[in-house]
Amino acid sequence: MNYRHSFHAGNSADVVKHSLLIALVRALQLKQGALTLIDTHAGCGLYDLGGDEAQRTGEAMQGVRRAFTDPNPLLDDYRAAVQAVNVDSEPHLYPGSPQILAQLLRPQDLLILNEKHPQDAYALRGVMRNTRAAVHERDAYELWLAMLPTRTPRGVVVVDPPYEQPDERARITATLAAAHRKWAHGVTVIWFPLKDQATHSRWVTQLRNLGIPKLLRVEHWLYDSEQPGIYNGAGLFIVNPPYAFTQALPPLLEALRAALAPQGHKGEIISGWLDH
């Protein structure tokens, strides 16, 4: 699957991912202790929704623009994060995860970004120039392990690969197993696309076999039945999510489902522990 993010910025997957990422970090920040936030596949950091690549797919129309017209106040934090990089009420620019994480930083928190693609890494450094982020240009899976355990007592690793390589899921599974051995109490967020149920079910079984005790699965299916050969949605695996986050999750997921359901479909967002 080719997922160069400039083609897909602001789509429904971004709305769900970034809404949940904001809620997760905010829940962790209910405690004053410092956090290290690590983004292993950071991308460019900022995307032009009016650019040729975004316009070619038009996916933002079914994502961020739907979220901006939805009245549900549970989406206010997400909308505010997008609004922060725009000068008027209409979203023309879209913040990637690095920008959103930078907005959430407290003085005691650290932000580490990584992007292996040289062109994207160059753009990312420019976008993040006036922030406190450290930017690396390394293999994502090598950096993931190298940064653990984090310098601060608590941390979050965000893993958001393009899934262009056939062994991407296998590398994630192997690296997550090694990371958990080094950093069993840490929080890890893994984004994934949903293209077909069979491939996804096999990966869920592999992750379940790792035996990680607190591994939450969130899946956003756009359509009422699987659509063969196309993008069906996306989701997150979250290791060690805080209690405040999981308690607030059901109404937020319902708000996202309602805002993003394609015409003629209700869609579905499900969540649950992988060991259940």
Asked if 160 is an active-site residue, the reply is yes
Higher pLDDT, 1 or 193: 193
SS3 129: coil
The DSSP symbol for 195 reads: S
Say what the pLDDT of residue 224 is. 77
Q: Is the pLDDT of residue 5 over 70?
A: no
Say what the pLDDT of residue 50 is. 82
Say what the pLDDT of residue 52 is. 64
What confidence category does residue 230 fall into, taking pLDDT thresholds of 50, 70 and 90? low
What are the backbone dihedrals phi and psi of residue 195, each rounded to the nearest 5 degrees, phi first?
-105, -45
Tens of pLDDT, residues 111-139: 999 999 999 999 999 999 999 999 999 99
Structure tokens at 137: 């240009």
Tens of pLDDT, residues 167-193: 999 999 999 999 999 999 999 999 999
The DSSP symbol for 229 reads: T
Catalytic residue from among 70, 160, 167, 275:
160
Q: What percent of the chain stands above pLDDT 90?
A: 82
DSSP letter string over 52-81? HHHHHH-GGGGTHHHHHH---GGGHHHHHH
Taking the whole predicted model, whether its pTM rises above 0.85 is answered as yes
Strand order in the sheet with 35-39: 134-136, 110-114, 35-39, 154-159, 187-194, 233-239, 215-221, 268-273
Say what the pLDDT of residue 236 is. 98
111 touches 132 (CB < 8 A): yes
Tens of pLDDT, residues 53-100: 655 656 778 889 999 999 999 999 999 999 999 998 889 999 999 999
Structure tokens at 4: 């160069």
CATH number at residue 141: 3.40.50.150
How many helices (DSSP H) and strands (DSSP E) are in the chain? 10, 10
Tens of pLDDT, residues 15-42: 999 999 999 999 999 999 999 999 999 9
Structure tokens at 45: 């950091």
Tens of pLDDT, residues 205-220: 999 999 999 999 999 9
Number of domains in the chain: 1
Provide the mean pLDDT of the chain: 92
Tens of pLDDT, residues 253-264: 999 999 999 888
Q: Which domain holds residue 236?
A: 5-273
